[in-house]
């Protein structure tokens, strides 16, 4: 089971980083060269006292009939945040609790990848509730989503990561889904 869990979240976080990179590559050369250029929206977060703002390297991706994956990365593509909003099409603008659990629980998830390698997600965080995502605006037809987030993630099993990592002052605003 740990092997499945590790592969699943590596895939989710890698998908987010790759999708953000692919989205930026489809822009004009001037936009792709500028990580703060206009994109589909903005994702901002603070980790260890450093604030990251991702525009060209961020996306809101329709993950399934019920889920939306929001992702963004630093300009050097080494640090990334991913938010998976399960059941957003049913629940809409509300607070999503980031619970400790299993990938089989079908929970919303927050995750951070550091230095392109170490991975931490809320399912393995230290508490029963490891943060929240507050969606303040959601319009599926107009492809708009906005909100705030903060979370503490624990290491993904079998990833070599240890300890916990906290993300604070997170916000996102998108005007296009992919």
Please tell me the pTM assigned to this model.
Answer: 0.80
pLDDT value of position 171:
98
- Domain span at residue 40 reads 2-174
pLDDT value of position 17:
40
> Residues 62-79: pLDDT tens digits?
987 789 999 999 999 999
Task: Using only the alpha carbons of the chain, give its radius of gyration.
Answer: 15
Report which of 101, 105, 47 is spatially closest to residue 79, judged by C-alpha positions.
47
> Residues 13-54: pLDDT tens digits?
444 443 333 344 333 333 344 444 566 899 999 999 999 999
What's the burial of 23, exposed, middle or buried (CB within 10 Å: 0-12/13-18/19+)? buried
pLDDT beyond 90 at 178: no
The mean-pLDDT minimum among 20-24, 79-83, 127-131, 150-154 falls in 20-24
Provide the domain count of the chain: 1
Average pLDDT taken over every residue of the chain: 82
């Amino acid at each position: 089971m740990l092997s499945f869990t590790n592969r699943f979240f590596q895939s989710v976080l890698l998908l987010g980083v790759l999708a953000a990179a692919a989205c930026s590559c489809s822009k004009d050369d001037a936009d792709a060269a500028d990580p703060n250029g206009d994109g589909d929206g903005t994702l901002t977060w603070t980790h260890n006292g450093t604030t990251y703002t991702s525009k060209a390297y961020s996306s809101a991706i329709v993950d399934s009939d019920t889920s939306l994956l929001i992702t963004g990365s630093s300009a050097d593509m080494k640090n990334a945040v991913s938010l998976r909003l399960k059941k957003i099409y049913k629940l809409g603008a509300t607070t999503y609790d980031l619970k400790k659990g299993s990938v089989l629980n079908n929970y919303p998830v927050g995750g951070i990848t550091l230095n392109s390698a170490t991975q931490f997600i809320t399912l393995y965080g230290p508490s029963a509730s490891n943060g929240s995502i507050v969606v303040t605006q959601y319009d599926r037809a107009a492809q708009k989503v906005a909100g705030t987030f903060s979370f503490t993630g624990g290491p993904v099993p079998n990833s070599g990561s240890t300890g916990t990592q906290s993300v604070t002052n997170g916000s996102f605003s998108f005007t296009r889904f992919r």
